[in-house]
Amino acid sequence: MKIESYACGAWTAGTDDGVEVSNAINGEFIGRVSSQGIDFAGMLEHGRKVGGAALRRMTIHDRANMLKALAKYLLDRKEMFYSVSASTGATRADSWIDIEGGIGTVFAYSGIARRELPNETFAVEGKVEHLSAGGSFVGRHILTAKHGVSLHINAFNFPCWGMLEKIAPSLIAGVPAIVKPATVSSYLTEAMVREIIASGILPEGSLQLLCGRTGDLFDHLNEQDSVTFTGSAATGQMLKSHPNIVANSIPFNMEADSLNCSILGANAAPGTAEFDLFIKGVAQETTVKAGQKCTAIRRAIVPRDYVDAVIEALRARLDKTPVGDPSVEGVRMGSLIGRDQVEDVWQAVERLAGDNEIVHGGQRDFDVLGADCRKGAFFPSTLLYCDKPFQTDAAHSVEAFGPVSTIMPYANADEAIELARMGRGSLVGSLVTADNDEAARIVLGTAPWHGRLLVLNSDCAKESTGHGSPLAPLVHGGPGRAGGGEELGGSRAIKHYMQRTALQGSPDTLTAITRQFTTGATPKLGPVHPFKKTFDEVEIGDSLISHRRTVTEADIVNFGCLSGDHFYVHFDEIGAKESFFGKRVAHGYFVLSAAAGLFVDPAQGPLMANYGLENLRFTEPVGIGDTIRVRLTAKEKIRKEKRPDEDRAAGVVVWDAEITNQDNVTVAVYDIMTLVEREDN
């Protein structure tokens, strides 16, 4: 059996025998993997010209809805993936992280894109920058999809999640992807990609699969392409230094395995809830996926007085985690991915044992339930103790990528911080403490060396996702040894695949390009009130200048009685004169309410509801006798998809609102969002 690639619109197997892959539990043959004969340059061109062109014609929201449909499709077929995943040595719980965790990440990115990014083929970023005194020359940033391909080289430990968490932001950005899974677990990635292609949900060319070696693929990358890599630091550094990557300044995002730490706080003594949380966390990160996680806890940093209690508690917990065939009842930890990986981990443990004491496991002869230890890729959960962590390098430089962790003591917070730093850059660190002052000191001391930090205590433990769970809205990556890259991170991850361009020009020109009203652009004043227009009829720049209203003392008194806000600057004549304002002033929210009365058309029409208010600033006080008016301008339009339970289709119109006084001085600015009926019901 050949594990196939999907290249240039067709499934294809390599022309030679390639590499044999086997079942991690029983060693049985699964298939052969080869990329010999594949046209690597053709794959890139197919992605750029076919997939990229199709994606760029879609809006960001179209792409996000496409991924939502794909996630639903995959979730309906999850049991198929679970059955294949069993051959990787994973338990059902391990596979859940990879399969449903990956699908959940796709769902999450679909929601992030629809909430945070416009329903356009591009995105506008940041505020308008005023570049001239007269206001006729301004600047703004836009983000557009690169006309290239994102190449994702993934590690063996998460064949599904590793792919999905990378292609989701890339496809939303409008950039097609080529996925290159690790050979040893590529059969699971292939199974999921087959279903993705069969669904017909993605445009042709937007996703291709390369199983086997990359050949001369790197030679054909260009300046519009990007590469992401997850795996060992040595391999990542080799690929990152490829002459073509360097010559064309091709973005290369690396996430490397790191020596992540977990710190037990000084106040988390044995017997406390936090002590138990620490033990549970270290044990879970040692055994979940048999320790084959880039976020696993490799260094457990504990107060010296608690060392014996920590070792005893971890031994007891790990003894309750039987190793074996996950299909056998009672087995809670499966195998490593393959026999080669087993030998790699044993070599790392032997190096660690030279300077440290093995206090649990570490024996090649151990019990395995329901399987043959000589045929499967099993490894015992293993703990080491490093008594003098400041006098040894191995515990801070050697990673055993399996169910292995090293305990090391500290005397005070400064030592705990220094030990965390000695990992020289980690994807994630955790601190278990109920002392918020201790948390602040250690977090601020260690943050520059970590991509993510979990601070865990009994207050958040019930809902915490734990030390080793990267989440779509938060950055996944880390400095130094962790690769210096950044994955996930909400909309930031989507922007990794887009080109940020600074625009300079007149307000009218930038309004036309960005499809967002730029302050200083020519407003469109017409005979029809903007609120009488449907979403389709509203044009960016449509404006209304209201009639005027003079603020009276009665307005202030009545609003104070209605709202209950009797702050002294509104009612105390003497106190107000001594205040920052120098006089009695109207409530800011009265000014907003009065402004609404000035610009709202009271008649029934296509405007359905006030959808929200953002970016409010009160810039000048409004006193008794001041006269205000409002300029309202259509700033942005966001088309919303009609839900099955909605009677009418709608879109959101964002209005730039500016309130001025009798001297034409701005007293308040803000954005109003209205829900407006669309014509295409």
The three-state secondary structure class of 79 is helix
Distances (CA, A) of 211 to 28, 31, 215: 20, 12, 11
Residue with tokens 């073509």: 244
Provide the pLDDT for residue 625: 94
Distances (CA, A) of 41 to 38, 66, 553: 9, 27, 76
Q: In what order do the strands lie in the sheet with 382-385?
A: 357-360, 382-385, 404-410, 299-303, 261-264, 429-432, 453-456
DSSP class of 419: H
Please state the φ and ψ torsions of residue 406, each to the nearest 5 degrees.
Answer: -115, 130
Determine the Cα–Cα distance for residues 174 and 206; give it in Å rounded to an integer: 9
The residue among 139, 74, 96, 207 whose CA lies nearest residue 520 is 139
The three-state secondary structure class of 161 is helix
Percentage helix, strand, coil for the chain under 3-state DSSP, each rounded to 5: 35, 25, 40
Tokens of 203: 């445009």
Fold of 523-677: Thiol Ester Dehydrase; Chain A (3.10.129)
Determine the Cα–Cα distance for residues 606 and 576; give it in Å rounded to an integer: 44
Determine the Cα–Cα distance for residues 332 and 322; give it in Å rounded to an integer: 6
Amino acid letter for position 620: E
Provide the pLDDT for residue 193: 97
Determine the Cα–Cα distance for residues 209 and 9; give it in Å rounded to an integer: 10
Q: What is the mean pLDDT of residues 367-392?
A: 91
Point out the least confidently predicted range of 24-28, 230-234, 238-242, 296-300. Answer: 230-234
Tokens of 241: 């230094």
Tokens of 558: 């009545």
The three-state secondary structure class of 9 is coil
**Do 652 and 672 form a contact (C-beta atoms < 8 A)?**
no
CATH ID of 261-469, from 3.30.360.10, 3.40.309.10, 3.30.300.90, 3.30.1280.10: 3.40.309.10
The residue among 445, 465, 446, 459 whose CA lies nearest residue 274 is 459
Q: What is the CA radius of gyration of the chain?
A: 30
Amino acid letter for position 181: P
DSSP class of 450: B
Q: Which pLDDT tens digit goes with each residue over 138-185?
A: 999 999 999 999 999 998 889 999 999 999 999 999 999 999 999 999
**Cβ neighbours of residue 561 under 8 Å, at least 6 residues apart?**
none
Q: Over 80: is that where the pLDDT of 680 sits?
A: no
Query: What are the domain boundaries of the chain?
Result: 40-257+492-499, 261-469, 523-677
Q: Which pLDDT tens digit goes with each residue over 412-463?
A: 999 999 999 999 999 999 999 999 999 999 999 999 999 999 999 998 989 8
Provide the pLDDT for residue 236: 86
Determine the Cα–Cα distance for residues 90 and 292; give it in Å rounded to an integer: 10
Local confidence band at 681 (pLDDT 50, 70, 90 cut-offs): low
Tokens of 195: 């279903």
**Do 128 and 140 form a contact (C-beta atoms < 8 A)?**
yes
Q: Over 80: is that where the pLDDT of 403 sits?
A: yes
**Cβ neighbours of residue 205 under 8 Å, at least 6 residues apart?**
9, 46, 47, 49, 50, 51, 52, 54, 176
For the chain, give the mean pLDDT.
92
Burial (0-12, 13-18, 19+ Cβ within 10 Å), 427: buried
The residue among 206, 470, 105 whose CA lies nearest residue 193 is 206
Supply angle C-alpha 8, 11, 13, rounded to 5.
110
Q: Which pLDDT tens digit goes with each residue over 108-130?
A: 999 999 988 988 999 999 989 99
**Cβ neighbours of residue 169 under 8 Å, at least 6 residues apart?**
109, 488, 493, 494, 496, 497
Fold of 40-257+492-499: Aldehyde Dehydrogenase; Chain A, domain 1 (3.40.605)
Instruction: Output the pTM of the full model.
Output: 0.89
**Cβ neighbours of residue 388 under 8 Å, at least 6 residues apart?**
none
Q: Over 80: is that where the pLDDT of 507 sits?
A: yes
Q: Over 70: is that where the pLDDT of 393 sits?
A: yes
The residue among 665, 675, 60, 95 whose CA lies nearest residue 337 is 95
Catalytic residues: 255, 294
Q: Which pLDDT tens digit goes with each residue over 520-529?
A: 888 888 888 9
The residue among 147, 186, 164 whose CA lies nearest residue 54 is 147
**Do 126 and 502 form a contact (C-beta atoms < 8 A)?**
no
DSSP class of 236: H
